[in-house]
Structure 1
């Protein structure tokens, strides 16, 4: 859990108080139903890879990227054998870490800045 604590302390997280209770309950239910926690995979591990996500992954520190690749490989192995992790190694909703958020936000800000510079170069305002 050292990884989770390290990433959680550095990542800006949307306040749970801002999310309606019904939506939070629905998210918890969907997370449990997905079995990602039982496979040891975080939500950010299974995001659809877009150019933004791809750039964010390039910016990850090597140890975080290695941990992500290990979790994905282990999950594929478990899925192939129709098994789950032991209870002690499974993740819960509360353990889920959004470690890519700061990098995704940085890439989005840079893309917005690039677009605004492109408009200025064209003469548009």
Structure 2
């Protein structure tokens, strides 16, 4: 089997099979808890590295409230890390709060870059 952009991802195959999903979901939840970022009040999208132009453009597309909340989560997690203790349990990020707020912006930026690259490399020929 050849894997590429046209092949289905493993996640889509797992979610399509109810038995496999029922088997994998507890393992995924266990692994997420094991990562420990929720104990510091962070969301999964907060863990994405910011060191490229696509991420900077994506972060700039966040609303003012999302930007403020993101900064607050970072400051609170930094303080907890300095104290070498996780936050109190009531301040942990709950699984239903751990939504992807940045991922759609990243995907849009990547799609725009792909389209821009296509149109910038278009060659016009005279007849």
Normalising by the smaller structure, the TM-score range is 0.7 to 0.9
In the TM superposition, what whole-angstrom CA distance separates every residue of 1:39-92 from its partner, at most 9, and x where no partner exists? 000011111113211110011111110110110111011011012222222113
Deviation at 1:25, TM superposition (A): 3.9
Specify which of 100, 109, 115 is matched with residue 98 of structure 1: 100
Distance 1:122 1:79 in 2: 56
Per the alignment, residue 15 of structure 2 pairs with: 17
**How many residues matched?**
110
Matches within 5 A, 1:15-94: 17-18=15-16, 21=21, 23-49=24-50, 50-94=52-96
Deviation at 1:94, TM superposition (A): 3.3
Alignment gaps of 5+ in structure 2: 1-10
Distance 2:124 2:92 in 1: 52
Distance 2:124 2:40 in 1: 49
| Higher Cα radius of gyration | 2
Closer/same/farther in 2, CA of residues 55 and 122 from structure 1, 3 Å limit: farther
| Contact kept in structure 2, 1:41 and 1:72, CA below 8 Å | yes
> Matched residue of 1:95: which SS?
coil
Deviation at 1:23, TM superposition (A): 4.9
Closer/same/farther in 2, CA of residues 65 and 48 from structure 1, 3 Å limit: same
| Contact kept in structure 2, 1:38 and 1:85, CA below 8 Å | yes
| Contact kept in structure 2, 1:59 and 1:103, CA below 8 Å | yes
Deviation at 1:105, TM superposition (A): 1.5
> Matched residue of 1:27: which SS?
helix
Distance 2:97 2:33 in 1: 12
Alignment gaps of 5+ in structure 1: 1-13
